[in-house]
Amino acid sequence: MYALQVLPVPFESDVFKSAGRANKSLDSALHHLKSVDPADVHLKELLWPAFVIGPEAQTMSQRAVITDVLESLWTLWRCHNVTNALKVLEKIWARRATEGSSRRNHPYTGTPHALNECVLAPSTRAF
């Protein structure tokens, strides 16, 4: 998913083919995230994948999967990186809602100062 976001779209005649591949990858990734038991100690390993996959979530149900994983992580781990990750994702989702979701507005670019504030600032938010 990350490579599909940060690498330029190849010059191919069928751009929708690339979008279909991204959607299949997203569906597969979300399925794997949902399959991990929230009580499993290995759930901690999902913070970075959930954060990388999260910006790709377009629908409320897709975003709910990411949010559920992060809420489970918070319950298990109580690490503020979890709440910071959710804050950044919420900003990305809000920006996508106002700007659209085209490749030009992909989630890893844009307002770095706002995103850095979320990542670096301590959080007091609890789920």
- 40 within domain boundaries: yes
Residue 19 neighbours by CB under 8 Å, 6+ apart = none
Count structural domains, the chain: 1
- 127 within domain boundaries: no
- 126 within domain boundaries: no
- 14 within domain boundaries: yes
- 25 within domain boundaries: yes
- 75 within domain boundaries: yes
Over the stretch 3-17, which tens digit does the pLDDT of each residue have?
665 666 665 545 445
- 125 within domain boundaries: no
CB 10 within 8 A of CB 18: yes
Q: Which amino acid belongs to residue 7?
A: L
Left if phi > 0, otherwise alpha if psi is -120 to 50, otherwise beta: which for 91?
Answer: alpha
| Cα dihedral value 52, 3, 22, 82, nearest 10 | 0
The mean pLDDT value of the chain amounts to 77
Residue 90: domain span: 2-120
Q: Which of 1, 5, 4, 2 is nearest to 105 (CA)?
A: 5
The per-residue DSSP string of 58-121 comes to -SHHHHHHHHHHHHHHHHHH--HHHHHHHHHHHHHHHHHHHH---GGG-TTSS-HHHHHHHHHS
pLDDT greater at residue 52 or residue 115: 52
Model confidence at 122, pLDDT cuts 50, 70, 90, reads very low
- 70 within domain boundaries: yes
The pLDDT value given to residue 120: 42
